[in-house]
Amino acid sequence: MKDEKNLQTSVFASERVLKPSPEDVIPQKPTPAEIAYQMVKEETYPQTNPMLNLATFVTTYMDEYATKLMNEAININYIDETEYPRVAVINGKCINILANLWNTPEKRKWKTGAVGIGSSEACMLGGIAAWLRWKKRRIAQGKPYDKPNFVISSGMQVVWEKFSQLWQVEMRQVPISREHITLDPHLALQHCDENTICIVPIQGVTWTGLNDDVEELNDALDEYNARTGYEIPIHVDAASGGFILPFLNPHKKWDFRLKWVLSISTSGHKYGLVYPGLGWVIWKDRKYLPDDMNFSVNYLGAEISQVGLNFSRPGAQILGQYYNYIRLGFEGYKAIQHNCLEIAKYIWGEIAKFPQFHNYAKEVVNPLFIWHLDEEYDKSAKWTLYDLQDKLKQSGWMIPAYTLPKSLEDIVVMRVVVKQGFTRDMADMMLADMRAAVAELEQLKFPTTSRIAYEKQEQQKGKVFTH
Ligand SMILES: Cc1ncc(COP(=O)(O)O)c(C=O)c1O
């Protein structure tokens, strides 16, 4: 038998295919590139096909030119601005474009913002800036600054828990409930005090796909700040919505047109339509970015500010974002987001026809939505949405089931996120697989293990089941 030392060896004729891949210790000897490639590649085969992954918000399709451009920049480290100054300039242009899409009032040539590895880094930077601004004001007033807090709905993404833990800023969660399915501005204000560094409404709530009402919050906050003398600002976590609202709902005020919105973050790798990892944070004006966070560089024809948690980071995504702006333009982005929303609405309509299901919200405002088992049906069902998730996996679809956050945690929901690359035909295929899966589950004579566990837990809270 040939082995890998022989350059003529074909991959599957090599001895390597008979050996397990390394798990704990680096192999003693090198492996030919073709074989090493195959070994790594095949480990990825059993995974979900990204195009069928309706769980992720993150881009799974870019066109060939975008892919080529990004692959060609794979060896570019963004932080090496001296070596790759044009990447830094392109980054500045991307920040300008986004700031203007969000109606920044800033007059400078280079708007104030930063690139991040995703929304998480962008949210952190927005939160840190709010915290440092608050701290500076407290010091100037001769007041203590050891108990900062921020206010957010219980529909927050885990990044805000990280922000709270890592920077020791208390997180005050406003519960979302059956009555208030998004952040209730008046309840939010009840959670505020002199130590509140900011309130964080979300555009494209991870759990539900809905938008908090930033304008209503801003108005209530304006009155509150005037009454109390506080200067509590808003940071908008627009991880998904930041790239949807400007195109599909440009008249809706959620951005820098509102007085107290001082910073906004988003994911370039979600509806910015770039492969992972890319996030952006923009401040309304340079004065809202504390100097301590701002590392200025002056070799770009102007002073531009550089802010970030990471030092090294890939440059390719920045080129991908800029490519998208040029390739798609406003009209192109609008058409893609429109199509995603239309397909989400179509699926939503079809889900509504299942007697077993109930859509959580009355409308689809972003290209993602959730549904749950119909309350009556749930009383006698022999399966849960976790079983449906498993069944759909058998046909390749990843459609997650999960429980809603605190105060709604008894509701098990299922979510689809429609992204570029998901067509009406694919939606029909997915729906056909779902109908078949539900029909199979309907045939069950005995409850599934997930059903038994669910009922046991809910019975303890007093829920009654009828079988
Ligand atoms: C509302 C919200 N904020 C923040 C994040 C974190 O984003 P990223 O994965 O880009 O770090 C997400 C991710 O889903 C999100 O939905």
Best probe residue, ligand 1, of 206, 207, 281, 313 (max atoms within 8 Å of C-beta): 206
pTM beyond 0.75: the answer is: yes
Give distance in angstroms: CA of 29 to centre of ligand 1: 41
pLDDT averaged over 10-residue windows placed end to end, the chain, 467 residues: 60 89 94 92 90 95 98 93 89 97 96 97 98 98 98 97 98 93 96 98 97 98 98 98 98 98 98 98 96 74 73 95 98 98 98 97 96 95 97 96 91 97 97 98 96 90 81
Give the closest residue (by CA) to ligand 1 atom 14: 206
If one counts every other C-beta atom within 10 angstroms of the C-beta of residue 257, the result is 15
Q: Which domains does the chain have, with CATH numbers?
A: 1-46 (no CATH), 67-325 (3.40.640.10), 337-460 (3.90.1150.160)
DSSP bridge partners of 295: 306
Give the tokens for residue 233. Answer: 């600002």
**pLDDT at position 106, please?**
97
Ligand 1: residues whose CB is within 6 Å? 57, 118-120, 123, 157, 159, 202, 204, 206, 237, 239-240, 267, 279
